[in-house]
């Protein structure tokens, strides 16, 4: 495994189940970062993520007897769909153990491919332990989501496609959860061009690979806490770890808040829905300390449920000052509300919500509190609105925005 011949074999095999995800040049991200940024949109795969590559290639290497036993895996969603779809292609039974926190869209899509779904545990590691118990008890063939060299070889087909389309690529950014994708991509990339830089990206609330590389051995985190559910892994793969030690040049961590902003970037500038784990490499672009390089960011998946999407959009607008709230004190007499509204209108602010509190003070004749939630064009516009209010005799105080 993980040889050039095997990567070539896997790259041909996965064509049977993958869609062509050509690189997308991003004018916006290139301008923002000073590099030539290309996106590898694996969120556009039929199953919504790259995981079908490793799952299908792995299952293709199994014997008929192994497939007849039934297949089992554990996954937060994308590998689950990959295994379920691949198993369906081979007419094999698939049992998928998923954490109870898995978004509903991933659960339903996994079931839609004919798989039996078992919800267990709060994080991937707990689901995996239970899946291994079931495999032993029922005799199922276990398909590991990342700590498997054949699975990693299948994932490496992404790097083959990147090189064919952009031979002079200099940097590849790859998300890391357990490390399977990063193993395949980094190993093949280094085989094709030893000078290339492969940067792994983890959520700061689940940075198990960064911790492991620093210690020189596989480390288990005491807990994980991130909105990037697909990469919320406590322990990276032990079989693939030596390959990552050799081939990953650096690991960047990004905060959840950065993922929220990256989501808006992708929606507004590329009309793409990318899940939080897939956004890791977009958020990491601003952390690169290089300029004028050809950079590819792998968007690993796009399976995000509508409720999560709605929450991310709202928080993203708040982080960008596109929506903000403030309070002002007004005399308790008719006409004062219209005066404030007039000032806001002339500043081109759009009122979303008003809350009028007459009981902020016992002296109602002195003041009542008005909390206003506004839509603006961004930070500079927000500052202009607040300045105009001050110039008109008001003293606006920023308060927490609750939509």
Q: What is the pLDDT of residue 332?
A: 78
Q: What is the pLDDT of residue 380?
A: 95
User: What range does the domain containing 233 cover?
Assistant: 4-49+151-317
Among the listed residues 36, 51, 190, 239, the single catalytic one is 51
Q: What is the pLDDT of residue 222?
A: 94
Q: What is the pLDDT of residue 358?
A: 66
Q: What is the pLDDT of residue 359?
A: 65
Is 63 one of the catalytic residues? Answer: no
Degrees to nearest 5, angle at CA 28 with 319 and 325: 15
Looking at the structure, do residues 39 and 114 belong to the same domain, yes or no? no
| Residue 364 CB neighbour total at 10 angstroms | 12
Looking at the structure, do residues 306 and 272 belong to the same domain, yes or no? yes
The residue behind tokens 């890791």 is 280
Using the 3D structure, point to which of 110, 142, 174 is the last residue of a domain: 142
Looking at the structure, do residues 181 and 308 belong to the same domain, yes or no? yes
Among the listed residues 60, 186, 300, 376, the single catalytic one is 300
Residue 175: which CATH number? 3.40.50.1100
Is 383 one of the catalytic residues? Answer: no
Task: List, as one string, the DSSP characters of 214-250.
Answer: HHTS----S----S-GGG--SS--TTTHHHHHHH--E
Looking at the structure, do residues 333 and 379 belong to the same domain, yes or no? yes
Number of domains within the chain: 3
Structural contact between residues 171 and 180, judged by C-beta atoms closer than 8 angstroms: no
Structural contact between residues 376 and 349, judged by C-beta atoms closer than 8 angstroms: yes
Looking at the structure, do residues 308 and 330 belong to the same domain, yes or no? no
* Residues with Cβ within 8 Å of residue 276, at least 6 apart in sequence: 203, 226, 227, 228, 229, 230, 256, 259, 263, 304, 308, 312
Looking at the structure, do residues 231 and 295 belong to the same domain, yes or no? yes
* Residues with Cβ within 8 Å of residue 257, at least 6 apart in sequence: 319
Looking at the structure, do residues 327 and 238 belong to the same domain, yes or no? no
Looking at the structure, do residues 307 and 351 belong to the same domain, yes or no? no
In angstroms, what CA-CA distances link 304 with 103, 258, 276? 7, 17, 8
Looking at the structure, do residues 224 and 127 belong to the same domain, yes or no? no
Looking at the structure, do residues 305 and 178 belong to the same domain, yes or no? yes
Q: What is the pLDDT of residue 362?
A: 59
pTM of the complete model: 0.88
* Residues with Cβ within 8 Å of residue 166, at least 6 apart in sequence: 23, 38, 294, 296
Looking at the structure, do residues 211 and 163 belong to the same domain, yes or no? yes
Using the 3D structure, point to which of 288, 317, 346 is the last residue of a domain: 317
Looking at the structure, do residues 255 and 328 belong to the same domain, yes or no? no
Residue 346: which CATH number? 3.30.70.260
What pLDDT tens digit does each residue of the chain (403 aa) get? 799 999 999 999 999 999 999 999 999 999 999 999 999 999 999 899 999 999 999 999 999 999 999 999 998 778 999 999 999 999 999 999 999 988 787 888 899 999 999 999 988 889 999 999 999 999 999 999 999 999 999 999 999 999 999 999 999 999 999 999 999 999 999 999 999 999 999 999 999 999 999 999 999 999 999 999 889 899 999 999 999 999 999 999 999 999 999 999 999 999 999 999 999 999 999 999 999 999 999 999 998 888 888 889 999 999 889 999 999 988 878 888 889 999 999 999 999 998 877 666 656 566 788 899 999 999 999 999 999 999 999 999 999 888 7
Using the 3D structure, point to which of 83, 107, 142 is the last residue of a domain: 142
């Amino acid at each position: 495994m993980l040889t050039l011949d095997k990567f070539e074999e896997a790259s041909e095999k996965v064509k049977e189940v993958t869609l062509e995800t050509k690189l997308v040049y991003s004018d916006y991200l290139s301008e923002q970062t000073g590099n030539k940024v290309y996106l590898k949109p694996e969120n556009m795969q039929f199953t919504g993520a790259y995981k079908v590559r490793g799952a299908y290639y792995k299952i293709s290497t199994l014997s008929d007897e192994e497939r007849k036993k039934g297949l089992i895996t554990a996954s937060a969603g994308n590998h689950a769909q990959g295994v379920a779809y691949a198993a369906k292609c081979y007419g094999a039974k698939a049992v998928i153990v998923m954490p109870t926190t898995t978004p509903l869209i991933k659960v339903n899509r996994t079931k839609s491919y004919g798989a039996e779904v078992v919800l267990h545990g709060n994080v991937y590691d707990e689901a995996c332990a239970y899946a291994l118990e079931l495999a032993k008890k029922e005799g199922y063939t276990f398909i590991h989501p990342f700590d498997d060299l054949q699975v990693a070889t299948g994932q490496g087909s992404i790097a083959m496609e990147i090189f064919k389309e952009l031979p002079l690529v200099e940097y590849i950014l790859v998300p890391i959860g357990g490390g399977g994708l990063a193993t395949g991509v980094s190993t093949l990339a280094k085989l094709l061009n030893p000078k290339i830089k492969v940067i792994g990206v983890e959520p700061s609330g689940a940075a198990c690979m960064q911790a492991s590389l620093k210690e020189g051995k596989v480390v288990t985190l005491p807990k994980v806490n991130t909105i990037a559910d697909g990469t919320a892994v406590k322990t990276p793969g032990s079989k693939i770890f030596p390959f990552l030690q050799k081939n990953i040049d650096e690991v960047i961590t990004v905060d959840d808040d950065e993922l929220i902003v990256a989501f808006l970037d992708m929606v507004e500038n590329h009309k793409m829905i990318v899940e939080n784990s897939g956004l890791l490499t977009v958020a990491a672009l601003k952390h690169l300390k290089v300029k004028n390089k050809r950079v590819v960011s792998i968007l690993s998946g796009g399976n995000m449920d509508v409720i999560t999407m709605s929450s991310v959009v709202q928080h993203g607008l708040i982080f960008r000052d596109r929506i903000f709230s403030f309070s002002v004190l007004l005399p308790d007499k008719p006409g004062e509300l219209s005066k404030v509204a007039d000032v806001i209108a002339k500043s081109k602010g759009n009122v979303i919500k008003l809350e009028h509190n007459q009981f902020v003070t016992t002296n109602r004749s002195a003041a009542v509190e008005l909390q206003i939630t506004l839509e603006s064009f961004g930070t500079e516009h927000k500052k202009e609105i607040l300045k105009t209010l001050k110039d008109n005799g008001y003293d606006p105080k920023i308060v927490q925005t609750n939509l």
